[in-house]
Structure 1
Amino acid sequence: MSSNIGVSEVSIDYQAVHQALQAQLGEHAVTDDPVRRFAWSTDGSYFRIVPELVVRVNQVEEVEKTLAVARQFQAPVTFRAAGTSLSGQAVGDGILVMLGYDGFRKLEISEDHSKIALGAAVIGADANAKLKPLDRKIGPDPATLASCMVGGIVNNNASGMCCGTAQNSYQTIDSAKLLFADGSYLDTGDENSKAAFAQTHPKLLDTLTQLAKETQADEALSQRIRHKFSIKNTTGYSLNALVDFQQPFDIINHLVVGSEGTLAFVEEVTYRTVEEARFKASAMAVFFNMVDAASAIPPLKTDAVAAAELLDWASIKAVTGKPGMPEWLSELPEGAAILLIESRANDPDTLNDYTRQVTEAIAHIQTERPIEFSSDPAVFGRYWAMRSGLFPIIGGERPKGTSVIIEDVAFRVEDLANAAADLSALFLEHGYPEGVIYGHALDGNFHFIITPQFRRKSDVEQFDRFMQAVAELVINKYDGSMKAEHGTGRAVAPFVEMEWGEQAYGLMKAIKALFDPEGLLNPGVLINDDAEVHIQRIKESAVVDDWVDRCIECGFCEKTCPTSALNMSPRHRITTLREIARLEQAGEQAEAAKMREAAQYDVIDTCVACQLCTIACPVDNNMGMLVRKLRSTQLTSTAQRVLDFQADHYGSVNSVLSTGFNVLSGMHKFTGSTVTGAIMSLGQKISSEVPYWDPDFPKGGTLPKPVQFNEDRPTVVYFAACGGRTFGATPKDPDHRTLPEVMTTLLERAGYQVRVPDNTRSLCCGQMWESKGDYKNADAKRREMIDALEILTEGGKYPVIVDALSCTKRTLQDAGVNYTMLDAVEFIHDELLDKLPPVQKKGQVALHLGCTASHMGVNDKLEAITRAFAEDVVRPAGIHCCGFAGEKGLYKPEINASALRHLKEQLPEKVDEGYYANRMCEVGLTRHSGISYRHLAYLVEECTRPSA
């Protein structure tokens, strides 16, 4: 059995493996679908390895059953969390075991707040959000904290700007719950579990103890290990466990950190929490050159400095002139370098003392600008925006068809200046002039970015020569780390022995064989004798479209996408489209057509086009807009005629829809759900325009009534959007008035007279056409609506209020609105709160903060309004979009169901009302919460109603 692969040469019958897994886990947990296997196996690295099968797991028992089948067939297994990994450790052959979207999310804080138990699928930032009110946090702070999961943080020993080597997972892990390749289970924090494991695995424990004794007795080896971990290092296994501990369970606890899924499955980790300082201040120290900047690092390694980030001249040039960047960057002399320095403390006096210490510590070094600390988040936020802006700027502006590769190396701080100069020279020597260097200088940790293309054999050979040169520089010249915090993966596996030497590498092989003798867990990662594994099976970034070509497949979008758990996220859709484009460009037209057809449902049909991906995306991709563009190419002549008819006769169409739902409501009342559902199912077979049936569907809506004009009263123009005028109350709603009725009542109560268009039924912002890719009708309807409302404003004399966030957003998204248009949320918050103080308040209510509210930046206003009229507001976590997607929720209810699958369980029993500001979203929220969700106007109207 090869040490680098660890899988038997005997071919594996994956059809039999598939059947065995389905028998153990159920049909829906396992897939061999080619499109989904391809899409779900992408990660943040430059590798492309498609597994034979993908298993989604939500319980450790499911992992145990998967491993049993893997052992039976000798099939390799790769564990995967969020897939933000950069080094190829989250992809592999055989069986890919993905953490599901519902399990491994335990989050428990100890009574004294000193520890936190976290399931493998908990996102790091979510853990910190729970700890923040307690002035605590977890130690690891990778840049991907808002997206990466605890399982990945531990397995990569991920760190970041502040945690360094003192607060990473290795230093702060308290215990872990582990499942090993042989199916055995161990909780290193439970004495009974350890005792049971000692009974079943005495040889493993004895061997670990002996390895530790031998390592500690070998002074040269133990010194080598200590030296290697005196700077950041995630190359290979955490051999420091063998010199830091004597007890085998302590060694296991720490060996699993940074093991990249090659030793065990990590179900849960308990961290010792660290202090989160309440006060922060940052300064931007601008030096004339890298030598001066690097020389400032040693005197800054004190308690006064929490972080020091270095930007080289190439980094500065990359961000100069970009939105939000300081204008004076363009005035800096060539060769300048910047240190972003942050101090943190729990009281202002200590913080002031720290900033003084920093200034004094480097006063002997001349700077291009005076060093001034600011404790104003608005000021130092701009400083850090420059640092965080590097990656998206370079990734977003790279040439089409190229990859973006971020590597991270570490040196002794006294070697930083020379190492930076040497790295810069390598960029030019090997044809990567775009290369930039930046990073966590306080820990001697450099990140560097290059944007190679991998279309030809010569491209790969060029990259190989570069990496060989980097290894020679880092290892042989400076004795540094080839990987400081991104994990070894396939990217650096060929260089592990070169960095560590034969003896230490032999220890790593022994550890792998001890825990995974059959070599089933993530084979080829971390331990690999193939000197070319880092240049094999590389992604090709085919050109697709301007909307998504910048994608770096980082996975940041998956946390907010409402269809991630159903089938695909934007990253999955983009990588699938790239593969289709690659096949087409390679002349494989038949394969491309086959994949395009197979991907239709996952990539096109189920994307809700909410565009939340643009908010989460570091390079501003917009999958939603691309999907709409692709839908436009798929419109048949028949479909276009239907859309044209709807646009030309929208008043009648809207009226029929509203009447139809009244009829449905009446039919259901007399015939019941069974008969009504059967009739609707029959209708769906006849026409795709017939929605599914649900007994919680609303009745039809009504139009606002015009009032007699009175010049003595302030006037507003009110536009009732499609949702509120088409759909009225649901059976769960306590108030059967329609939204136009409530809005009119509320505005008049505040002293306004309300003007409404005579042809409201005919007007629309065009969203329903745009969502189908029909931009011709979408833009025409928008223009018609804008012009009709402008007449009522008498040339902009009166403001226009729209009662649906999505309608307001689309109407305002382009030029052409020459008068004030506000969403009802904005108008209520800005104008009505003072005019209509509450007569009464609700107790506890729920509030949804949806995708359009996020795009429009009105989440704070939504919350402020709700808190003005309710004693307590519940905001269900992790729900960023309801998934109803306009009328799509009427035809593809599975999207809405998946997006809101955790809504009901998060609502306290006494909460029976919820609010938002878009009727279609509220219909979906009502269905899946079991309570009434309505527009915030209902809450304000009821609570400001004059007392009898």
Structure 2
Amino acid sequence: MSIDYQLVHQQLKQVIGEDAVTDDPVRRFAWSTDGSYFRIVPELVVTANSLEQVKQTLAVARNHQVPITFRAAGTSLSGQAVGEGILLRLGYDGFRNIDISDDHQHVTLGSAVIGADANAKLKPLDKKIGPDPATLASCMVGGIVNNNASGMCCGTTENSYKTIDSAKLLFADGTFLNTGCEESKQAFKQARPELLQTIAELTAKTQANVELSKRIKQKFEIKNTTGYSLNALIDYNDPFDVLNHLVVGSEGTFAFVEEVTYRTVEEARYKASAMAVFYNMVDAANAIPPLKIPAVAAAELLDWASIKAITGKKGMPNWLDQLPEGAAILLIECRANDDDTLAKYTKQASQAIAHIKTERPIEFSTDPSVYGKYWAMRSGLFPIIGGERPAGSSVIIEDVAFRVEDLAAGAADLTELFHKHGYPEGVIYGHAKDGNFHFIITPHFRSQADIDQFERFMADVATLVIDKYDGSMKAEHGTGRAVAPFVEMEWGVQAYELMKELKAAFDPTNLLNPGVVINDDKDIHIKDIKQAAVVDGWVDRCIECGFCEKTCPTSALNMSPRQRITTLREIARLEDSGAAAEAAELRQAAQYDVIDTCVACQLCVISCPVDNNMGMLVRKLRGPQIDSTAQKVLDFQANNFGAVNQVLSTGFDVLHGVHKITGSTVTKKLMDIGRKISSEVPYWDPSFPRGGNLPKPSTPTTGQPTVVYFAACGGRTFGPTPEDPDSTTLPDVMTTLLERAGFNVVIPNKTRQLCCGQMWESKGDYKNADMKRDELIDALAQMTNNGEYPVIIDALSCTKRTLQDSDIDFTMLDAVEFIHDQVMPKLPAKKRKSSVALHIGCTATHMNAGGMMEAIVRAYCDEIVKPEGIICCGFAGEKGLYKPEINESALRHLKTKLPSEIDEGYYANRMCEMGLTRHSGISYRHLAYLVEECTR
């Protein structure tokens, strides 16, 4: 039966809202990938922020028999978060509740809660959730549960299966169940008696089958996420307990997980790590069984190929190149809640492997600065390999599990397969204590021959892992499309038939994520493979993992860097294949999402494991889009910036006066008319500031040190907003503060004309941007008395722009640093504030200024409030004036995250402060205001 997706789209818009569903080709393609090597373009993308939206979407899907795939953060590595039909992804506003029980023994989490955010709430209580996947800073609880994700320490004892208490579930037929609520369970008995009956029958049948029960128990003695959690059928008897645990690891094929309650586990306060360097892999593997003791929390292995890959790289130990060929490393960690226990644990760990000769002495360190370097080796492996792979190649991270006694032989066999199938770059690392190996290869998928090569490799891996060692093809990454063809091979006919019966019982019409886990197509793992076309050096390293989505200010508006890169790769692929017209059409359609709305904050670099920089690429791509008319305007602005800056400042004073007389309605209409004439006219907002002014130089005082103060264009253009408590401008406050601290203040000549060039760089006009920066540096240098006087700039982004790629032979400091180092010691607080908000924005993050900013606030305030999740304001210089939707989306939660008693906030960039003020309802100003007021 063919599906009328246009009709489906219309019905979904009617029931869940027009903004919650899209059939836009650009956005559909943008959501066609997860962290795996698959690409499947859905017909529709639904963004759900409430259970009601999920219910309505399922109802429409049932009515039209449309397949539906649930997606959390999309960090999945096996292709289980992409699918045809409807892709229902968790939005950025719903399913984010975190509720901790009074005794701290349980935590209830919405499915869109990021794992690290849950742990941040639990940490002060010395608790955490059990699962600890490497993607914890990005992945969501819905994905953690559905993949039974684990990691370095949780092993097979503290994963979701072992620590889940209850869950709220929505099934394909629309029925709902809270497995932790007796009333809900009774209602479910009435609504779905056949499902409970089937579960009870399959439980009894499985337990009665001694051979099968033994097989299931054996399979879960090591890490295993291949197929369904059949251990639920032998571990539990009550159908609700069985169902509760069957859902774990079901990869969205059984039900939608709205919420889960975990039993929390202890978070040890003290840690110690040691690096055990063995002469060969056999010795390292032989050290694992003795280390499987309570004293050891983790034992991570790096094979010789891994060691070679990181040798000589930044941050890696300089003695790696001295190791003998074939060496292997175990990183061992012990954890405890007191020093004495930790010392006992480290002694036990050392003694456990004392009989095995090591290349270096095993010494445990409790110093984070020391053991942090050890773990930098482990965490650095993936970005190093991913970042250095050939452009256009993919990164595939597979994870298999062996019994610990088979580790050495298994590693040797895997290495042999790398070379046999043309993947000499292959490395092996992973959670050796649990017999879990990850391996990385970087294949090309440019031709059918490349795909055939990969198919042969995976077939040999399956034969090795399953037939030779009876291990797990998937230890912790979930089955997905990558391993679906091998589930029956690994489990056997009986167990596989049992899995098929379970799928049919939960989802009789096969609507939920069809083809994942259960799939009769033995070639599914080599179909729908995505191409990694070469785009640009700024982003070609991207592995489409999705780590960037948490920090990107436009993720909720339209796209994150991952989606932008995905789209650009498709444009490049079309161009490479000769489909120039299609490429041009896609490029034009993607202009708003990919280019226009990227704020170029570069926070993606911070969260990216392979150092992609979408912000710099977007600026580069904007350059060729500047036509001759626009270039003339930019040139005029650059060459006449003094006049332009004065007009802007005066214009905002005039606008303020017009608004005062006519009110918001008339002012908005006037602005709308003006914007039709020129795109340089901003959208009206009642929180617009007055105009600013230039700072006034000091009257010199003999014997006092002198500073050069440059007022950046934001502060001298935009003065106070209606929400600000007084009409003092930033240049006046800075001058007053510097004079009070005992400095003579000199002002650069022609300050109005000077600029760091940021406003031109953001448009891709590097010619004018660099010209303005050079002009500024020259003007400042002339004021420093041959480098004697330091230069202070009062906007973090301007300081960063001026300093980067510049050869400056005088001292230039941001106002934050100068206030922290030179002003605070001279001006103790004469009054203190009880509580204020502090924003640590994207530039502050890049410049590592957050610590200094907090120190400044602490000196004059009793409490600092830093709203969670507010990293970049999305104002992006002047972009907030012309594309206010970005700022609005980025700060949509700011007001609700501020306590009612807070009435003022601080940062160190005037444009950002305007955006923060607009969406917080309180005054945000430069930190200089706080220091000046409290030392007055």
What is the TM-score with the length of structure 2 in the denominator?
A: 1.00
Amino acid at match of 1:301: K
Q: 1:5 maps to which residue?
A: none
1:543-582 equivalences in 2 (<5 Å): 543-582=534-573
Q: 1:762 maps to which residue?
A: 753
Retained in 1: the 8 A contact 2:350–2:362? yes
Q: Does 1:350 align with 2:333?
A: no
Per-residue deviation, residues 694-728 of structure 1 (Å, max 9, x unmatched): 11100000111012334410111111001000000
From 102, 107, 111, the equivalent of 2:98 is: 107
Q: 2:640 maps to which residue?
A: 649
Aligned mates of 1:26, 1:200 — CA distance in 2: 28
Q: 1:7 maps to which residue?
A: none
Q: Does 1:449 align with 2:424?
A: no
Deviation for aligned residue 1:629: 0.3
Aligned mates of 1:936, 1:42 — CA distance in 2: 42
Q: How many residues align?
A: 936
1:162-561 equivalences in 2 (<5 Å): 162-561=153-552
Q: 1:45 maps to which residue?
A: 36
Per-residue deviation, residues 902-922 of structure 1 (Å, max 9, x unmatched): 000011111110100000000
Q: 1:677 maps to which residue?
A: 668
Retained in 1: the 8 A contact 2:225–2:249? yes
Aligned mates of 1:353, 1:697 — CA distance in 2: 63
> Which shows bigger deviation, 879-888 or 23-32?
23-32
Deviation for aligned residue 1:207: 1.3
From 67, 71, 74, the equivalent of 2:65 is: 74
Deviation for aligned residue 1:815: 2.7
Amino acid at match of 1:212: T
Aligned mates of 1:487, 1:644 — CA distance in 2: 55
Deviation for aligned residue 1:25: 0.9
Per-residue deviation, residues 744-794 of structure 1 (Å, max 9, x unmatched): 000111111111112110110000000000000000100110111111111
Retained in 1: the 8 A contact 2:5–2:43? yes
Q: Match of 2:94, SS?
A: coil
Q: 1:810 maps to which residue?
A: 801
Retained in 1: the 8 A contact 2:278–2:359? yes
> Which shows bigger deviation, 794-803 or 565-574?
794-803
Deviation for aligned residue 1:858: 0.6
> Which shows bigger deviation, 291-300 or 672-681?
672-681
1:807-846 equivalences in 2 (<5 Å): 807-846=798-837
Per-residue deviation, residues 839-862 of structure 1 (Å, max 9, x unmatched): 001111111110000000011111
From 861, 867, 872, the equivalent of 2:858 is: 867
Q: 2:119 maps to which residue?
A: 128
Q: Match of 1:54, SS?
A: strand
1:677-756 equivalences in 2 (<5 Å): 677-756=668-747
Q: Match of 2:505, SS?
A: helix
Aligned mates of 1:822, 1:623 — CA distance in 2: 27
Retained in 1: the 8 A contact 2:698–2:739? no
Q: Match of 2:312, SS?
A: coil
Deviation for aligned residue 1:16: 1.0
Q: Match of 1:408, SS?
A: strand
Amino acid at match of 1:140: P
Aligned mates of 2:428, 2:837 — CA distance in 1: 47
Deviation for aligned residue 1:634: 0.4
Amino acid at match of 2:186: A
Per-residue deviation, residues 545-579 of structure 1 (Å, max 9, x unmatched): 00000000000000000000000000000000000
Q: 2:47 maps to which residue?
A: 56
Q: 2:914 maps to which residue?
A: 923
From 834, 840, 844, the equivalent of 1:853 is: 844
Q: Match of 1:914, SS?
A: strand
Per-residue deviation, residues 314-336 of structure 1 (Å, max 9, x unmatched): 00000000000000001000000
Aligned mates of 1:203, 1:899 — CA distance in 2: 46
Aligned mates of 2:566, 2:859 — CA distance in 1: 45
Aligned mates of 2:666, 2:806 — CA distance in 1: 49
Deviation for aligned residue 1:200: 1.5
Q: Match of 1:327, SS?
A: coil
Per-residue deviation, residues 401-446 of structure 1 (Å, max 9, x unmatched): 0000000000000000000000000000000000000000000000
Aligned mates of 1:40, 1:716 — CA distance in 2: 52
Aligned mates of 1:14, 1:695 — CA distance in 2: 42
Amino acid at match of 1:354: Y
Q: Match of 1:267, SS?
A: strand
Per-residue deviation, residues 33-63 of structure 1 (Å, max 9, x unmatched): 0000000222100001000000010011110
Per-residue deviation, residues 51-97 of structure 1 (Å, max 9, x unmatched): 00000100111101101101100000000000000000000000000
Q: 2:897 maps to which residue?
A: 906
Q: 1:936 maps to which residue?
A: 927
Q: Does 1:799 align with 2:755?
A: no
Q: Does 1:33 align with 2:30?
A: no
From 594, 597, 608, the equivalent of 2:585 is: 594
Amino acid at match of 1:72: N
Per-residue deviation, residues 605-627 of structure 1 (Å, max 9, x unmatched): 00000000000100000000000
Residue identity (%): 76
Amino acid at match of 2:275: M
Q: Match of 1:269, SS?
A: strand
Aligned mates of 1:26, 1:296 — CA distance in 2: 58
From 6, 13, 20, the equivalent of 1:15 is: 6
| Structure 1 residues not aligned, in runs of 5+ | 1-9
| Structure 2 residues not aligned, in runs of 5+ | none
Aligned mates of 1:209, 1:527 — CA distance in 2: 21
Q: 1:4 maps to which residue?
A: none
Q: 2:878 maps to which residue?
A: 887
Amino acid at match of 1:780: M
Q: Match of 2:69, SS?
A: strand
Aligned mates of 2:146, 2:824 — CA distance in 1: 50
Aligned mates of 2:699, 2:925 — CA distance in 1: 29
